[in-house]
Amino acid sequence: MAICFPGEDASYRDARDKLLEAEMQLRKQLESVAALRRKLPSGGRIPQDYVFDEDNGQVLFSQLFKSETPTLMVYNFMFGPAMSQACTSCTSILDGLNGTAPHVMDRVPLVVVAKSPMPRIREFAKERGWTNLRLVSSAHNTYNLDYHGELENGSQMPMLNVFVKRGDAIHHFYGTELLYAPVEQGQDARHVDLIWPLWNLFDLTPEGRGKQWYPKLKYHNLASSS
């Protein structure tokens, strides 16, 4: 069904209709990719039942699942002990996920893991107002390195992994491997775009994503709209 907006002319509508056709194809392609993802076979079994630090002690990887669902989502938060501050991009993602988490976790458990000690993670979470995220520390295990949330030199990487239980075994199901795939000129990896609405909002503007801009931990020039 064709629609129009006040004051538009024929040249605008023609260009917009062509864009709409492309958007419809993109919608179809997104669903095709999602369908391929859902059909993935079980990946490799986890090499060990990792022990994570949590606020009140320790928790096993297998205990992060909910009894009623076989799926677990784990996001690698770039906040290692050698980093002077948390990754600003990861922080932007988690600011958004903090609001979304209750809805997500009604169906699938979502866990955020960082390499820093748990007290440091909790202090930062309190500063950000993250009250809905389940946060754990991998300070004493190799999870980050094993699942590509860390490089051999200790650098932290922003990886999202999904795991599934098959009987008594836990298997890897999906990881955002676009992070490590070749990138076309003028693009970044975009491996976690689907969980990061910031860039999708910018894509709707005439300016687009822009160049050399990254999220900040604090913004000092936000003027009141009142």
Q: For 194-226, what is each residue's pLDDT tens digit?
A: 999 999 999 999 999 887 788 999 998 765 544
The neighbouring-strand residues paired with 169 are: 166
Confidence of residue 145 (pLDDT cuts 50, 70, 90): very high
Q: Are 148 and 157 in contact (CB under 8 A)?
A: yes
- Calpha distance 22→20 (Å, rounded): 5
- Calpha distance 181→135 (Å, rounded): 28
Tell whether the model's pLDDT for residue 134 goes beyond 80.
yes
* Antiparallel, parallel or unpaired: β 71-76 and 110-114: parallel
User: May I ask the CATH class of domain 51-177?
Assistant: alpha beta
Q: Check residues 168 and 115 and name the one with the higher pLDDT.
A: 115
The domain spans of the chain are 51-177
Q: Are 160 and 60 in contact (CB under 8 A)?
A: no
Q: What is the mean pLDDT of the chain?
A: 94
- Calpha distance 125→63 (Å, rounded): 22
Q: How many Cα atoms occupy the beta-carbon half-sphere of 68 within 13 Å?
A: 4
User: Tokens 């309190």 label which residue?
Assistant: 126
**Looking at residue 222, what is its pLDDT?**
64
**Looking at residue 220, what is its pLDDT?**
83
Extract the tokens encoding 120.
Answer: 């440091």
Q: For 80-112, what is each residue's pLDDT tens digit?
A: 999 999 999 999 999 999 999 999 999 999 999
